[in-house]
Chain A
């Protein structure tokens, strides 16, 4: 089946087959990352613009790295240096970038739906690098890629996502990817941050950590933001940690082979004990590395590359 999508806006709109194609392409690219020359000419002559209108280090660097590994020219623009601070609209900024000859825009934006908005009037691919609390599709893809590496298949496997789900685009993208891949997903956290509405997305919602973690094979933690405290979503970070923080005792409730994941940045001692973050069940840094392979796959496919041509072209 050929890859036909030009934009990557959400995981919700991807088919299971498309997720499989991205993962397969990422597997091929991952091999390149362990070679001494970590570069292929796939996107030579193409210019990719990283338009990051919200702060990011990991995602932006990973996209940067992925584009460079594919030999594309990359320009990164952040919120502070862009004209949006001078009152320019997102449409005007994007159309100017297009007029400058960009072949692709990677957008990080605080407003949900903004990548879809750009894709409606731009004739170049738009890649969503996180839009508000909506989706962060490459994160969902790299997370499931990492899970698949460890578990082989996700069909019927118990995955727990723990933390601030309400405001998390990572959670939403993972929910869509995991449910398509057949995993049994449970969301856990304080009821203020894990509203019951999520059950409509085909997942379970729980506020009881013990039963949720029991026998889970994957636990994915999400960062708890200090601001949620002042907005009344929970009393204090201390109370959060005491109720929902992952520590050694609670980790013992998991399946013995379970992996611990976190999209970063982590708050040591808040959502996760330092020991666990650095422990041998933690795959947090593997996620970061896989993020490059997965993003290479996305940039490559959305530029018109085909999954089956990766290996011959790069061997």
Chain B
């Protein structure tokens, strides 16, 4: 596959060209979308794939999308024969989706004389609502159909024209159809940009060259991972971490992993992990792939290209029937945002035994997902979704950062001025939760406190974790403090909230989210 003499000299060039293409797509998507999740919080990703649907390059957007989007592309390719001008939409977790609000658009790029696409393009964006029982489509549910509209791979565009039934189906199943339409238009604009750039690359370098360099880039990423694995000690380490509960059954969920490093290869075996969740914490192998890729890229000594070659030296075993591969129909809203974080924690917990001088203590390990719905000042319904950052784990030689998103997400907060303008809410407090980071020679970062007052009746759902056991410390460092959530009623009564569940706010009630601190590293001197 590799080994042509020119390849080392041209890898950097073609890597830059493909990444630039994905970034241009991302810039169009972000600037033209309407949903605050996309424009303010940047919860979206764009990527280019080869003929076989393997990722060649992806813009640095959301880590959780890197391992999962190619499975959506694969699902589209096996379900549909994408002709020229066709664009498919998909969000089914059984088709490489992560959770339902993430709508993925996939298209093939046909080159002259071909009867199948020579490349594929895809973009994924987190929409603010896709229907279901609770606004924001992130609430507690016990099956997939309660979470919103489920889209197996279907055509959104055929031959460049809208497929009316698909649009009707998507838009009639959601609470805020105009906003969805705007966001999908932005996703389509990003695909058009990507296609234009890809065609100009073909015109400049020729398809043979582009296709050959795509192969070279996959091999290059694989070499990067092998080089990294060569430099870590051989051995086999096990670690288990837990999720508090799934919001339905009051039982902890264990994510168990055995990491085996041997020479230039690695094996991640999740045998022993708890079975399917009755609540919304079910993940899928696509998410597990993403978590492993994240850990590998974070450990690599320099930036590795984000493509499918990274997984070449890696073997993954996810037991069917576990919460990480539960089969169809299970509720999944929290698999992407919560379980994915715990999978990273488990992986890093195992790797910390192999590399004690590099791997940090656990970070907050949750995204503190908050979805709110109600009627705005103009009487129109709104749905609003955001995540709350927390403390990062301390490492050997570094304090954990406070109030920052870690691992599988990097989505930004909503400015308070934007929040108060759009919704009947008033922010009372947004600040560090002092003392929540685990003590240690290097202390963990502090979590955040986000306190908002309702000015009108609001229905909300919270999906959070690390409310029962704090993020672990390492080498004698203490655990970070657990998160705490409550409603301070207008009358003075304080109600503690479960980490996963729905609630109602009346005018004057205050919702307080306190996110977990990061674990400390090393005993205090």
Partners in one complex: no
**B-side interface residues toward A, CB under 8 Å?**
none
